[in-house]
């Protein structure tokens, strides 16, 4: 007794619930049983088809060999009959080769073969009905035999493709594939859940790394090294301020003499009024006064330039109004009295030296580079975390999507199963 029969004996006519595995086993068992019966039946039908095709082949040979005497009646009419006779014979030969049964007897192969063969009879013989009708006028017995064989073949192909047994096999095959589809979608769901868990786990691991590196960053920012850097940074600002003040002081001293010095630069071009070094210092005094103290630390050259300017104001080479002349001479006189080394160069140079010393300490310590490196690691982990979150979100959506497919498959499988067993059972998923 088969599994289906055993289960059938346990229940009354009322619809009963059975487990998914038992339901699938019922379908497999019923399919195997019906498939064996179907295969045996198909083998017999194949023999019948081969026999009928053999008859068609013989009919084709008979049609070809049958001679119609043109002299025994209307020649034109008989020629038309002969043409129809030959055409029909050729078509029957071709049809016989097309309809040869395959070696396989499984339902899907048989279903495809029977449909193709039934269509071939309809399609290939339809254009030759006129030939058949004409040939029948003089070849009644031969055409009757052909018609009987074709009719029997058509009925056989129809039964193989759409008969009760074929319908039952189609129903069982749909049920079998429905269970396979449900299994496949369930496996896909499990795989999607694995991918989701892995993505979520990786995201959590990276999140933990970010937290650890942030703690490392906070520790580095509050370290003695960082505190020392902050002091150095404050000192750097202070030294930069001292340098700026020293430079600004010198610039403010030179500024009132700028107009006179510009005229001197113009007048000194192309003559020996100033030598090359003096011209270089003059340009520095106009472009960047502080740089003149580097070229001329003691101010000797600068004072020579100022003396030339003073002389040219006095002799009128540099023309100024009386009031302005007096004012410019006073400014230049004050500059000439200055000790350039002590009042300007030393202050600027010391401020620059102090600033460079602080900058060197900062560069050696490199706390900002270390902090930047930690921040870069945080950024890198954050980007990786975003990627893992995207992967997890994608896997989450895929899982939801597959769950929807599973629900559809579950419903479809249940409906097909009920229809196969005439509503006696329903699956308990």
User: Which residue, of 129, 162, 195, is where some domain finishes?
Assistant: 162
- Residue bearing tokens 């192909």: 157
Task: Look at the chain and count its residues.
Answer: 429
pLDDT, residue 339, reads: 83
Residues near 381 by beta carbon (within 8 Å), at least 6 away in sequence: 206, 209, 210, 213
Tell me, yes or no, whether 350 lies in a domain: yes
Dig out the tokens for 55 from the structure. 């008859």
Mean pLDDT of 320-324: 88
Q: How many other C-beta atoms are found inside a 10 Å radius of the C-beta of residue 52? A: 19
Residues 344 and 239 in one domain: yes
User: Does 355 share its domain with 245?
Assistant: yes
- 244 with 357, same domain: the answer is yes
pLDDT of res. 262: 92
pLDDT reported for residue 33: 92
pLDDT band, very low/low/confident/very high, at 298 (cuts 50, 70, 90): confident
Q: Does residue 276 lie within any of the structural domains?
A: yes
Instruction: Please check whether residue 214 lies inside any domain of the structure.
Output: no
Single residue among 351, 374, 397 that ends a domain in this structure:
374
In a domain, 292, yes or no: yes
> Do 264 and 156 share a domain, yes or no?
no
Q: What is the pLDDT of residue 148?
A: 83
For residues 382-394, one letter each, b for 16 or more C-beta atoms within 10 angstroms of the residue's C-beta and e for the rest, the string is: eebbeebbebbee
Instruction: Tell me: do 332 and 256 sit in the same domain.
Output: yes
pLDDT score recorded for residue 418: 85
Q: Confidence band (pLDDT; 50, 70, 90) for 10?
A: very low
pLDDT value of position 213:
93
Please determine, for residue 91, whether its predicted confidence score (pLDDT) is greater than 80. Answer: no
349 pLDDT exceeds 90? no
* 151 shares its domain with 253: no
Tell me whether residue 425 is in a domain.
no
Average pLDDT over residues 272-276: 87
pLDDT at 134 over 80: no
pLDDT band at 18 (very low <50, low <70, confident <90, very high): confident
SS3 19: strand
- The number of domains in the chain is 2
Residue 174 lies in a domain: no
The verdict on 243 and 350 lying in the same domain is: yes
| Residue 221: HSE in the Cβ half-sphere, 13 Å Cα cutoff | 10
Cα 219 to Cα 173, 227, 365, 378, distances in angstroms: 69, 11, 16, 14
Domain that residue 257 falls in? 230-374
Which residues share a beta bridge with 19? 428
Q: 11: pLDDT confidence band, cut at 50, 70 and 90?
A: very low
- Least confident interval from 79-83, 200-204, 217-221, 238-242: 79-83
CA pair distance 169, 114, nearest whole angstrom: 14
In a domain, 204, yes or no: no
Q: If DSSP codes are grouped into helix, strand and coil, which group holds residue 426?
A: strand
Residue with the larger pLDDT of the pair 46 and 12: 46
Q: Is there a domain that residue 254 lies in?
A: yes
Give the pLDDT mean for 155-176: 89
More confident residue, 140 or 273: 273
* Residue 51: per-residue pLDDT: 92
Residues 141 and 52 in one domain: yes
Instruction: Answer yes or no: do 234 and 370 share one domain.
Output: yes
The average confidence (pLDDT) of the chain is 83
Q: Quick check: 246 pLDDT over 60? A: yes
Among the candidates 374, 389, 424, a domain finishes at 374
């Amino acid at each position: 007794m088969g599994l289906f029969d055993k289960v059938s004996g346990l229940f009354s006519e009322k619809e009963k619930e059975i487990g998914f595995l038992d339901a699938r086993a019922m379908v497999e068992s019923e399919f195997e049983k019906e498939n064996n019966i179907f295969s045996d039946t198909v083998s017999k039908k194949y023999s019948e088809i081969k026999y009928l095709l053999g008859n068609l082949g013989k009919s084709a040979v008979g049609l070809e060999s049958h001679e119609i005497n043109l002299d025994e009646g209307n020649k034109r009419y008989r020629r038309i009959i002969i043409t129809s006779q030959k055409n029909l014979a050729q078509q029957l030969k071709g049809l016989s080769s097309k309809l040869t049964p395959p070696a396989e007897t499984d339902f899907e192969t048989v279903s495809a073969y029977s449909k193709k063969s039934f269509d071939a009879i309809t399609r290939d013989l339809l254009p030759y009905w006129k030939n058949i009708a004409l040939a029948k006028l003089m070849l009644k017995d031969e055409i009757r035999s052909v018609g009987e064989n074709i009719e029997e073949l058509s009925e056989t192909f129809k039964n193989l493709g759409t008969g009760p047994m074929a319908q039952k096999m189609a129903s069982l095959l749909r049920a079998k594939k429905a269970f396979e589809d449900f299994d496949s979608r369930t496996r896909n769901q499990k795989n999607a859940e694995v991918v989701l868990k892995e993505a979520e786990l990786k995201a959590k691991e990276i999140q933990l790394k970010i937290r650890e590196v942030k703690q490392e960053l906070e520790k580095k920012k509050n370290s003695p090294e960082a505190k020392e850097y902050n002091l150095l940074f404050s000192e750097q600002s202070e030294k930069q301020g001292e340098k700026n003040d020293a430079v600004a002081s010198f610039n403010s001293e030179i500024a009132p003499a700028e107009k006179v010095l510009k005229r001197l630069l113009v007048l000194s071009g192309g003559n020996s009024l100033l030598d090359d070094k003096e011209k270089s210092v003059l340009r520095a005094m106009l472009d960047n006064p502080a740089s003149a103290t580097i070229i001329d630390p003691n101010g000797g050259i600068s004072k020579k330039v100022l003396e030339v300017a003073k002389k040219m104001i006095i002799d009128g080479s540099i023309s100024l109004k009386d009031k302005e002349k007096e004012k410019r001479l006073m400014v230049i006189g004050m500059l000439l009295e200055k000790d350039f080394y002590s009042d300007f160069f030393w202050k600027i140079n010391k401020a620059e030296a102090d600033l460079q010393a602080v900058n060197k300490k900062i560069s050696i310590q490199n706390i900002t580079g270390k902090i930047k490196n930690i921040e870069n690691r945080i950024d890198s982990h954050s980007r990786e975390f975003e990627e893992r979150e995207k992967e997890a979100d994608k896997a989450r959506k895929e899982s939801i999507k597959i769950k929807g497919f599973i629900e559809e498959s579950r419903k479809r499988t249940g409906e097909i199963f009920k229809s196969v067993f005439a509503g006696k059972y329903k699956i308990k998923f």
